[in-house]
Chains A and B, each alone.
Chain A
Amino acid sequence: MSVDQATVRRIAHLARIAVRDEEVPHLQQELNAMLSFVEELSAVDVTGVEPMTSVIPMSLPLRKDEVTGHAGADVVTRNAPGADDHFFTVPKVVE
């Protein structure tokens, strides 16, 4: 399988990474190099094989329903590039 330029743009948008027009051909080439590298996997017989969900044989640990505290609004928003009155602020979203 290989990707065309439209796919490169679609994937970049899905991943929310801006790409300039002049970057697209190069990206396409790199992605296709990676895809052709993994291509050999299609020859492996995986009939009846379960996909791995956890590499260690254990089940999900459950925690008790306890409030163990909050970071605090100051701490939570301290590193934010946009904040106002303990809210995070972002460019306006239109629903």
Chain B
Amino acid sequence: MSDITRLTLAEARDALAAKKISSLDLTKAHIEAIEKARGLNAYIVETPDKALDMAKAADARIASGNAGPLDGLPLGIKDLYATEGVHMQACSHILDGFKPPYESTVTSQLWRDGAVMLGKLNMDEFAMGSSNETSYYGPVASPWLPAGWDADKGRAALKGDKKGLLVPGGSSGGSSSAVAAHLCLAATATDTGGSIRQPAAFTGTVGIKPTYGRCSRWGVAAFASSLDQAGPIARTVRDTAIMLRSMAGYDAKDSTSVNTPVPDYEKSVGASIKGKKIGIPKEYRIDGMPAEIEALWQKGIEWLRAAGAEIVDISLPHTKTALPAYYIVAPAEASSNLARYDGVRYGLRVPGKDISSMYENTRAEGFGREVRRRIMIGTYVLSAGYYDAYYVRAQKIRTLIKRDFELAYQDGIDAILTPATPSAAFGIGEKGSGDPVEMYLNDVFTVTVNMAGLPGLAVPGGLSASGLPLGLQLIGRPFEEETLFSVAEVIEQAAGRISLPQAWW
């Protein structure tokens, strides 16, 4: 085998089971690839020693016939997840030096199932961002080169400020970049407003945000508790299905975790979608949407119709309110969730003349600009005199958004098809420097799903005119992720697997 990092997760699993490769070799290949790809800045911490130890242990289990579902498969972990004894900073300065004495439930399940940890992945600070430019560790570059760029130009940009290179999306930009650049077989990610689906769409990978309550939030630093969900990014629909099975599950340590059995999602990959009713919401046809996005959507509709699905025009009338309502609910929760970063028990402390100025200095220096801005807007919308006008109203609107979906599902809709993003990936440094709202518009199609707690999946549908990946989004009924995998696989087959970039970095 020429380059075993090009295997899909499922292929690698099967090759390991067939003893065609060893986890040690697979892991070493990834460690090498990561070392060569440091310019992308996808990994902020590499844990090669740990990876090799885990790989050896996995090989022993495989040899003895006791392999777990993910045994020997090297993964990257988003820095939002607590990994015991290993750096965890949510890519923020404020958690300087923090090494958690505990392991998140989701990652512990991955290790339980035999997976190998390669390191911690870059992300937007505390998952706040859509381009991975808010990280304390600097931006991540997408392995996709902008149109007209050659490898030399790309490498030169990597050595500099990366301006002009493409963003991998955010907040799980380290995850999407690493998966697309073959720096891991799959990665964990999290999604509060689109942070799994938008990066997947920007990099030609597959990402699923499961139903709220499907994956435990325990041990994952909170951004907005009522919206946050863990999920995987991988290179194929099947690979995300395999990952989700290990990541999902009830956790008594999370009061919002739902106690319902985890199906073998992989079984739904390849299942027929004949007779499935696919809703096409007219409200997602927004003003100024590029024609190629509209065209992609149409192609998606045709593929599903050809596979025997019934296409139904539906209306989700409160779609337009989701993004502004999100920018009240999410910052409000974040302003409170991030209050614990106060320089007392862990992380950065910047001295001050008294306790109050110690807090203020620590938080001013420890948080980046986007995080500070969101904490402030969140503080404002919860403050006396504004709470009802902003927060309570936004939560009422959330009820309306969820009701829109419920009505569609009551009418027999099995899944909803929309574009994943309003555009292809943009350049590093291109957006949001003047008006923060410009960046927020990236999440216009994904954020409704978080507001309603539903599962959403992004799958590549094709390339833009400039040769960049474009994604389609599927939105499902609560806890019916299996339908999404079945439908997504139809799109994946019809669109043809995207050919990910060769290493130019």
Contact = CB atoms under 8 A, between A and B. Distances in A.
Interface of A: 1, 3, 7-8, 11-19, 27, 30-31, 33-35, 37-42, 44, 46, 49-56, 58, 60-61, 63, 71, 75-82, 88, 90-93
Interface string B181-217: 0000000000000000000000000000001110000
B467 interface: no
A15 B335 contact: yes
Contact of A56 (B339, B375, B453): B453
B328 A38 contact: yes
A5 B256 CA distance: 39
A52 B399 contact: yes
> Would you list the 10 A-B pairs with minimal beta carbon distance, nearest first?
A55-B453, A51-B395, A79-B346, A81-B349, A18-B360, A18-B364, A16-B359, A46-B396, A38-B324, A49-B396
A41 B364 contact: no
Contacts of A46: 393, 396-397, 400
Contact of A63 (B226, B252, B376): B252
Contacts of B376: 8, 11-12, 15, 17, 27, 31
Contacts of A38: 324-325, 327-328, 390, 394
A76 B100 CA distance: 10
A17 B363 contact: yes
B401 to A, nearest CB: 9
A90 B344 contact: yes
B390 A50 contact: no
Nearest to A19: B364
B373 A31 contact: yes
Contacts of A30: 373, 436
A55 B226 contact: yes
A80 B335 CA distance: 22
Given A17-B375, A49-B399, 14 more contacts: A11-B380, A11-B383, A12-B376, A14-B383, A15-B363, A38-B328, A40-B321, A41-B321, A50-B399, A52-B399, A56-B212, A63-B252, A79-B345, A90-B355
B435 A18 contact: no
A90 B359 CA distance: 10
A27 B255 CA distance: 36
B290 interface: no
A82 B363 CA distance: 16
20 contacts: A15-B375, A16-B356, A17-B372, A31-B377, A34-B373, A37-B324, A41-B321, A41-B324, A41-B325, A44-B318, A49-B400, A51-B392, A54-B256, A56-B256, A79-B97, A79-B99, A88-B344, A91-B352, A91-B355, A91-B358
Interface string B325-348: 101100000010001001111111
A61 B252 contact: yes
B418 interface: no
B155 to A, nearest CB: 35
Given A19-B364, A27-B376, A37 B390 contact: no
B224 to A, nearest CB: 11
A34 B394 CA distance: 14
A81 B380 contact: no
Interface in B218-270: 226, 252, 255-256, 258
B120 interface: no
A25 B359 CA distance: 22
